[in-house]
Structure 1
C-alpha cells in the first residue's frame, strides 16, 4: 500500500520537475494535497474525508467562490463538523466494504483466464530443469524440462511427491508451477 502511494506521489511530482528541477521539495506539499483530496477508486472517498470526516476546501474554491464557500455559516459549521465526526465510523465501514468489493472484482478479472492444473496419483509429469540445485553440463543448451516422473502422492492441493521410472522417490515436494503434464 505504501508503495502504491509513493508511486502516485512520484507521478505527481515528475511533471512538475520539468519546470522546477531543484525545487521538488517545494512542490511536494501541492502533490500531497492533490493526493489527499482526490477520490480513490477502491474506497470511493478521499483520504482526507476518511481521516477527518469532512471534505477539504481546495484552494481554487477560495479564489473562485463555490456554493459551499459563499454560503458558509460559522456557527452551523461547528455543529455540522461534529455530526460528520459522529458518522465517520459508518463512512469508514462503507469505504472498507467498497474496498473489499473492488478487490474481489480485481481478483475475478485477473483469475478469469487462469486454468488450474491438477494431477492425480499415477499421472506422468515433467519438472522444470535447473531447480534441483545441480549444475547442468550443457549450459544454456540444456533442456528446460526433465522427466517423465510419475505422481506418487498428493500431500495437499498444488503439491506433489514424484517418483522416477524405477519407483524411487524424487527428493522434496514439488509445486504445481514447476510441473507440466507429460504426453507420451
Structure 2
C-alpha cells in the first residue's frame, strides 16, 4: 500500500496517472479542467475577501461619530502623557479649555489658550472634545 498526497487525489500527477492507467489525452483534459477550477476558486476567494472588508468597513464607519470643530469653539485636549507627580487614576484626563484658532483637512487643529497665546504644535482632532461652560 502506498501513501498518496491529498493534493494528488484532486490534481493527479504523472505517478497517479501511471498507476490508474488513464489515457494521456483524457488525463490532460482533466488536468486542464482542474487548473481552470483553481482560477475560479481563487477569484471566488478574492471576491469573498473584498466583500468581507467592505462589510467590516461599513460596520465600523456606522459607529464613528463625526465631530466638526470651527474656529472659536472651546475644546478640551486629552492628556497623552502622564507626569511623574500625577495622582495616578485621579489625575486629570483632559487639559484646557482651549480655543480653536484654525482647522485644516485631515483633522489637524491649531489651538490657542484662553488668553489667545497660540500653541506651537498642531493637535489631532481625535484627542479633542468640545467644552461647554
How many pairs align? 119
Q: Aligned with 1:112: secondary structure?
A: helix
Aligned to 1:81: 31
Do structure 1's residue 156 and structure 2's residue 113 form an aligned pair?
Answer: no
Task: Give 3-state SS (helix, strand or coil) of 1:83's partner.
Answer: helix
* 8 A contact 1:163–1:169 mirrored in 2: yes
More strand per residue? 2
Give the counterpart of 2:122 among 160, 169, 173: 173
Q: Which runs of 5+ in 1 are unaligned?
A: 1-36, 38-47, 49-53, 57-71
Indicate the RMSD between aligned Cα atoms, in angstroms: 3.3
TM alignment of 1:67-146, pairs within 5 A = 74-75=22-23, 76-86=26-36, 88-129=38-79, 131=80, 135=83, 137-140=85-88, 141-146=90-95
* TM-score relative to the length of structure 1: 0.53
In terms of mean alpha carbon deviation, does 76-85 or 117-126 score higher? 76-85
- Structure 2: stretches of 5+ with no match in the other structure: 1-5, 12-19
Q: Which has the higher helix share?
A: 1
SS in 1 for 2:63: coil
1:99-157 C-alpha deviation (Å, 9 max, x unpaired)? 1111101121233222122211211110012x3x5726343232111111111111223
Partner of 1:13: none
- Whose RCO is larger (CA < 8 A, sep 6+)? 2
Asked which structure has the greater CA Rg, the reply is 2
